[in-house]
Structure 1
Amino acid sequence: MATRSRSSRKAQPPRRPNRWKRVLGWTFGIGLTVAILGLIALVIAVYTARSSLPSFDELKSSPNGQMIRVHAADGTILVSLGPSYGEWIPYAEIPAPMRDAMVAVEDRRFRSHIGVDPVGIARGIQVSFQRDKRVAGVSTITQQLARNVFLTSNRSYGRKLREGILALALERKFTKDQILELYLNKAYFGGGAYGVDAASRKFFGHPAQTLSTSESAIVAGLVKAPSNYSPTADADAAVARGRVVLRLMKQQGVASAAGVEESDIQAVKLAPEPMQNSVRYFTDWALPQLEMLIDETVEPIDVWTTLDLGMQRAADEAIRANAPAGAQGALVALDRGGEVRAMVGGKDYVSSIYNRATQATRQPGSAFKLFVYLAALEAGHKPDDQVVDEAVTINGWSPRNSSRRFSGAINIRTAFAYSINTIAAKLGQEIGFGTIADMARRFGITTPVNTHPSMVLGTSDVRLIDMTRAFASVAQEGVAVTPYGITRVTANNQVIYAHEVDTSRVLVAPYVAAEMTDLLQTAVSTGTARAAQIGRPVAGKTGTTSSNKDGWFLGFSSGITTGVWMGRDDARPISGLQGGTAPARAFASFMKRAVANRPIEQFETEVTLPEWQLEPDEETYFGEPDNGAMMVDADGNPVDQPAPTPQATEEQPDPVTGETPSETQRLDQEWLDRMTGRGTPPNRPPVSAQPPREPPPRDQDGERPYQ
């Protein structure tokens, strides 16, 4: 019996260790080893990062963004763009409600964690698998500080790992109070404001030391989404977010929140956003050019511009005072070298940032005849050349004058002064419409120019700044003028860009520019554009498009060239708008102030200015203005207009001669020559041999067509 029992025990196979226990043991051992090695690596990484961190004082002095200060020509700061930094506020001076609010909404366990919050990390990992594997979650204040100062906002596991290591290093190097001080002085709160002091000054108009609990709750609530909750973007959203912060403070038992009601936040007075004046039209145009002028830099820079604040104020007031109700206006003023001294892109920058001086493209009307006559003069014509105002048809197009009559033989100076459409058409046919288009492009017109016959009447859309540039080039005796707004750029008081004016490009011969100036001065001296007179020599041209949709005046005097445009953004007609009315008055209003301190300059070809104060009122001679002469649509096709209804006016005797207009003061060559101080042109029969003519109404440019 005993023998069988022993033999049976010997027959049983030996027991083997459990395989899964061995696997588990090995796994635990490997995991423990990896964890220990990882912990050692983490400690090494943290202390390596700690040793490379800047000191507290170095972190205080390093801005985290670029600031751009824009100066006027006299050095006055026009606007500061980019990040705004307030005063650095030490921890002890930051109001307790501000510190408490930030901790309550951003990191309630700030005082107890070691730089990272395991709960936040677990939440971030969970959400990352639910939202397209992007890392998400609530970072601690220390992690946010590490990201704001040392890292980017790129969402990746690598960035989160580096953020965590830096946060642990920051906690090893600085105290909690120092970390909170750094965070509150560097966090972005929206509206370009960095730090609690900048935010307090921008949103409430006072330093951060006086922040109330309600104001602190609003500021603390901005960090989560500055672009959404910023009072400058949405005041209601900022206040609503402040109420959420206050509720969190109360839930966490924050003492500074006791006794504060959510209604108190609603009663907070937000500082009004500063009004943006017309200077912003200029800065919006000039500053984008920095990308082409300087290399990329993170240092704060100072941009010195050409803008003259006195001229800018005069330009703004001239447009506001003279633009018709419901219409917009724009003005550009250039100095001799192309310096933009004033730029107004509309009546009110706050209601519309659209810059009509540089962005809008509109038909210029007869102001475009500048290029027609430049091409004619370059081709050999002279101001005294005789031309015939008569019916003309070009490729089925027959331009008309406002009087529906023709003047016969006149000279080019007269044809330009009174903007006779048939003469412009004949000159265009003679010298070539393509040649005129090339002349326009040569003088700086950057928009497409059509070559239909009607192009001579200004049917191609242009920009005001381009037209002003063209007139400025004529004023500079045919030398190309390129508008510019930035004279130099400095960084740390070192010049990194300086503008150089190029005067090497000659567009037309000086004598051609002088002859063109002769024509332009005659147009102002003897036409209805006398509203542009400023008591010193002025050369210029009006432009009015069909149905009074656009009014232009462009001219120069004493080294300043100014272009004015008026019209509606929707291109609807404006009753009474003509180049010689509101635009010319705005030009004169601006130029009287712009050149007041400049010496009077005579043009190379002087025209004797008439003594207008001795003349009867213009309406006595010519009645009410015509609504338009040769009307064309956007494609240059003629549009019939009803004939003007004559209006009876009482004739007044000339104070000098004692004669009435119907007797001798008719709008004819003799009258023009006498008023400009010129004799009867050679080879022309005396005016008495010609049949008398009735004075015509004005044409579409607000100018009297010669008859």
Structure 2
Amino acid sequence: SPERTLERKVQEVLLALWLEQKYTKDQILAMYLNRVFFGSNAYGVEAASRRYFNKSARDVNLGEAAVLAGLLKAPSRLSPARDAEAANARAQLVLAAMREQGFITDSEVKTAMSQTPASAKSYWTGAGLYVADMVMDELPGLIGDVKEDVIVDTTIDKSLEKKAEQSLVDVLDKEGDKLDASQAALVSIDGTGAIRALVGGRDYAASQFNRAVKAKRQPGSSFKPFVYAAALEKGLTPFSVFNDAPIRIGDWTPENYEKKYNGEVTLATALAKSLNTVAAQLVMYDGPDQVIKLAHRLGIESELQPNASIALGTSEVSLMELTASYAAFMNGGYKATPHVIRRVTTAEGKVLYENTYDSPPRVLSEQIAAQMDAMMMGVIDNGTGKSAKIPGWQAAGKTGTTQNSRDALFVGFTSNLTTGVWFGNDDGKPMKKVTGGGLPAKAWKEFMIAAHKGLSPAPLFGNGQLIDNPNSSQPMAQAAPDGGQPVTAEVPPSTTIGGIISGVFGGDANANRYPQAPVRQQTATSGNGPVPPADVAEGGGAGYGNVVPPGDVGTPQTTSSVQPRRTTLLDLIMGQ
């Protein structure tokens, strides 16, 4: 604090004496330079050098070093990003003082003055900065106040991060202006909940607000999978038939997007075509409270309103929590808690925090997860998400569009990654007929194709088959590839989150590398209904012991025995 008292001065004298006894002058100076504020959100001389000159502090020339030294008097006011002229003037004073003290010659002063940079960018750029801000926000909650240098290992895959940012920029640059879409966000998560890529907006330099994490928007129809999953848990099947026709629920009369009705349809068809009337009927069948319980169980943390319109995604959620909740469908029914910090250590190597999230609780039965995956495949294969098809890969997902196209989303997954994409405007201005199957699905496809390049295709959990429920009197079927008559399919063998994630690396070579999680034995069946929520959410018996599921996605697995270095917070800040 700026407080000036005699007591404080005495404390500072004692502290100075202690420092002199414990450390050398060089050590004290190094500690100071590694921690002091240099303006523009840069702490430490290395970060400041990267911030202003895009190079390491070891590589700065004399003029640049003078600029850095001059910042210490008033780092915010003298920042080259704010006032380049003031920064350069201050640097000349530093050089003059060095000449007076005999550290440099007149010729060196003349050369250095010609080296001082004219200006610096107002803000760093790059999607990794959204992640860095997120890490800094979360770090105190994990290790308390940061009082020493720490090393933060993140879950981010740098190649995926670049691909994610590029996919959003490509679509916005190509179609954003003509469709009145100015912003976008993306988050990609693996089966354990590890965030592999995150883009909080179009350009960090223009806006540092993280739309993937902090913005809460209506998800629209991308909320419907929770409604359908709740219905399956009550005993319905993908082939249960509902009537798609005009309905009234109190004063609410939900309509389909195309203002057309199809008569009797199966639940699988209704989800693929995103029929609002059927979703509204299902909420009344499930009960809004049951839908909310399931959504919260899978990972939605935002408050949800218990009304019928929840079927159409009228309660606001963040893109990150929505995407993480979809990961439970992808990984076979386990909760995927989203996290970006994997490990925190001191400079000496002491572990301050570590969480591998390798023992997640089961939140959906395997059967329900497999049924949902198969139905959501229909969204991409035959429904509103056709623009998201990935050649050679099974993929599932759901589109979402809010009223007047204020928000458009696509959230989907392969056996490898679950990715959510949002397009819209910060001021809530409507876009021009943009739907979740439009810009978001295109960006999702571009990113996922790039992310899966070089990987061997692996099927979704349950192999994308609609399976026969042994506890149900209502038959279920698998749609034939050519659109012909459905054929009965067998229940797939028990599959675990470890198998789902490791399956993308191909072949039997990795079969024993990541053992399957033990399957908890059921002591009693639940009649004709699904596994009850209390049983599903129980964590006992599930998990991997001490085995960490693989997280190196986005690039082909190498045969080298040397493991790649984890992405650290400094890597993200520096854009490496």
Instruction: Find out whether 1:515 has 2:371 as its counterpart.
Output: yes
**Kept in 2: contact 1:215–1:265 (CA 8 A):** no
Q: Which amino acid aligns with 2:431?
A: I
Kept in 2: contact 1:480–1:503 (CA 8 A): no
* Residue 601, structure 1, aligned to residue 458, structure 2: yes
Deviations along 1:209-233, whole A, 9 cap, x unmatched?
9966x77775554333333323345
Question: Against the structure 1 CA distance between its residues 304 and 404, is the aligned structure 2 distance closer, same or farther, given a 3 Å change threshold?
Answer: closer
* Larger deviation, residues 285-294 vs 373-382: 285-294
Query: Unpaired segments of 5 or more residues in structure 1?
Result: 1-151, 610-671, 682-707
Cα shift readout 1:179-222 (whole Å, capped 9, x = no counterpart) = 79976995657244657x9977875669799966x777755543
**Structure 1 counterpart of 2:507:** none
Taking a change above 3 Å as real, the CA distance of residues 201 and 452 of structure 1, as seen in their structure-2 partners, is closer
Residues 473, 215 of structure 1: alpha-carbon distance in 2 compared, 3 angstrom cutoff: closer
Q: Which residue matches 2:149?
A: 300
Find the aligned partners of 2:351 and 2:101 in 1 and give their Cα distance.
55
Query: In structure 2, what residue type is equivalent to 1:496?
Result: L
Does residue 496 (structure 1) correspond to residue 359 (structure 2)? The answer is no
User: 1:609-656: CA deviations, max 9, x gaps?
Assistant: 9xxxxxxxxxxxxxxxxxxxxxxxxxxxxxxxxxxxxxxxxxxxxxxx
Match of 1:190 among 18, 38, 46: 38
Bigger mean CA offset, 430-439 vs 364-373: 430-439
Match of 1:534 among 384, 390, 396: 390
Residue 562 of structure 1 pairs with residue 410 of structure 2: no
Q: In the aligned structure 2, how far is the partner of 1:201 from the partner of 1:516?
A: 47
Q: CA deviation at 1:280?
A: 1.5
What do residues 373-401 of structure 1 show as CA deviations (whole Å, max 9, x unaligned)?
11111111111111112221111111122
Aligned partner of 1:276 among 92, 107, 125: 125
Contact 1:189 1:219 in 2 (8 A): no
| Displacement of 1:475 | 1.4
Where does residue 225 of structure 1 map in the other structure? 74
Q: For the structure 1 residues 551 and 675, does the alpha-carbon distance in structure 2 shift closer, same or farther, using more than 3 Å as the test? A: farther
Contact 2:84–2:120 (Cα < 8 Å) also in 1: no
Cα distance in 2 for residues equivalent to 1:432 and 1:336: 29
Q: TM-score, normalised by structure 2?
A: 0.69
C-alpha distance in 2 between matches for 1:255 and 1:286: 41
Check the 8 A contact 1:474/1:516 in 2, yes or no.
yes
Residue 477 of structure 1, aligned match among 328, 332, 339: 332
Counterpart Cα distance in 1 of 2:354 and 2:389: 37
Separation (CA, whole Å) in 2 of partners of 1:186 and 1:162: 18
- Residues 1:311 and 2:160 are matched in the alignment: yes
Of 547, 552, 574, the residue aligned with 2:431 is 574
8 Å CA contact 1:337, 1:481 repeated in 2: yes
Q: TM-score scaled by structure 1?
A: 0.57
Distance 1:239 1:435, change over 3 A: same
The residue identity in structure 1 corresponding to 2:388 is A
CA–CA separation in structure 2 for the residues paired with 1:383 and 1:580: 22
1:408 aligned onto 2:292 = no
- Judged with a 3 Å threshold, the aligned counterparts in structure 2 of structure 1 residues 410 and 283 are, in CA distance, closer, same or farther, namely same
Residues 405-457 of structure 1 deviation map (CA, whole Å, 9 limit, x = unaligned):
43222211111111111111111122212222222222222222122322211
Please report how far the alpha carbon of residue 337 of structure 1 lies from its aligned counterpart in structure 2 after TM superposition: 1.0
Q: For 1:235 and 1:368, locate their aligned partners in 2 and report how far apart those are by CA, in whole Å.
A: 49
Counterpart amino acid of 2:410?
Answer: F
Deviation at 1:472, TM superposition (A): 0.5
Percent identity over the alignment is: 34
Displacement of 1:549 in angstroms is 1.5
Provide the C-alpha distance between the structure 2 equivalents of 1:524 and 1:503, rounded to a whole number of angstroms: 31
Paired amino acid for 1:562: T
Q: 1:398 to 1:304 in 2, by over 3 A?
A: same
Deviation of the 1:525 alpha carbon: 1.0
**Aligned partners of 1:554 and 1:561 also within 8 Å:** yes
1:509 counterpart letter in structure 2: S
From 191, 194, 214, the equivalent of 1:339 is: 194
**Quick one: which of 381, 391, 401 aligns to 1:525?**
381
Q: 1:546: which partner in 2? A: 403
1:345-494 equivalences under 5 Å are 345-491=200-346, 492-494=348-350
Query: Across the two proteins, how many residue pairs are aligned to each other?
Result: 462
Quick one: structure 1 residues 373 and 309, their matched pair in 2 at CA, closer, same or farther if it must change by over 3 Å? same
Distance in 2, matches of 1:292 and 1:221, equals 34
Deviation at 1:242, TM superposition (A): 4.8
SS in 2 for 1:226: coil
- Residue 598 (structure 1) shift: 3.2
Per-residue CA deviation, residues 329-375 of structure 1 (Å, 9 max, x unaligned), is 11111111111111111111111111111111111111111111111
CA offset at residue 561 of structure 1? 0.8
Does the Cα contact within 8 Å between 1:367 and 1:553 map onto a contact in 2?
yes
Counterpart-to-counterpart distance in 1, 2:81 and 2:136: 22
The question of whether the paired residues in 1 share the 8 Å contact of 2:333 and 2:365 is answered with yes
Larger Cα Rg: Structure 1 or Structure 2? Answer: 1
8 Å contact from structure 1 (residues 363, 458) kept in 2 = yes
Letter in 1 for 2:287: G
What amino acid maps onto 1:678 in structure 2? Q
Q: C-alpha distance in 2, partners of 1:298/1:163?
A: 18
Given that residues 371 and 465 in structure 2 are in contact (C-alpha distance below 8 angstroms), is that contact kept between their aligned partners in structure 1? no
Paired letter, 1:594? A
Provide the rounded CA distance (Å) in 1 between the counterparts of 2:199 and 2:30.
Answer: 40
Name the structure 2 match of 1:322: 171
Q: In 1, distance between residues paired with 2:214 and 2:298?
A: 18
Higher relative contact order, structure no. (Cα contacts within 8 Å, ≥ 6 residues apart): 2
Name the CA shift for 1:468/1:225 in 2 (closer, same or farther; >3 Å).
Answer: same
1:675-702 deviation digits (Å, cap 9, x = unpaired): 5443499xxxxxxxxxxxxxxxxxxxxx
The aligned amino acid for 2:313 is G
In structure 2, do the counterparts of structure 1 residues 230 and 335 end up closer, same or farther at CA, with 3 Å as the change threshold?
same
Whether contact under 8 Å (2:406, 2:425) holds in the other structure is yes
The C-alpha deviation readout for 1:51-70, integer Å capped at 9, x for no partner, is xxxxxxxxxxxxxxxxxxxx
- The 1-side partners of 2:43 and 2:271 are apart by 57
Deviations 1:538-585 (A, max 9, x none): 111111112111111111112211111111111111114111111111
Return closer, same or farther for 1:472/1:678 CA change in 2, 3 Å cut-off.
Answer: farther
Paired residue secondary structure (1:228): coil
Q: Distance in 2 between matches of 1:171 and 1:284?
A: 35
Question: Is contact 2:334-2:360 (8 Å) kept?
Answer: yes
Structure 2, gaps ≥5 residues long: 467-478, 489-576
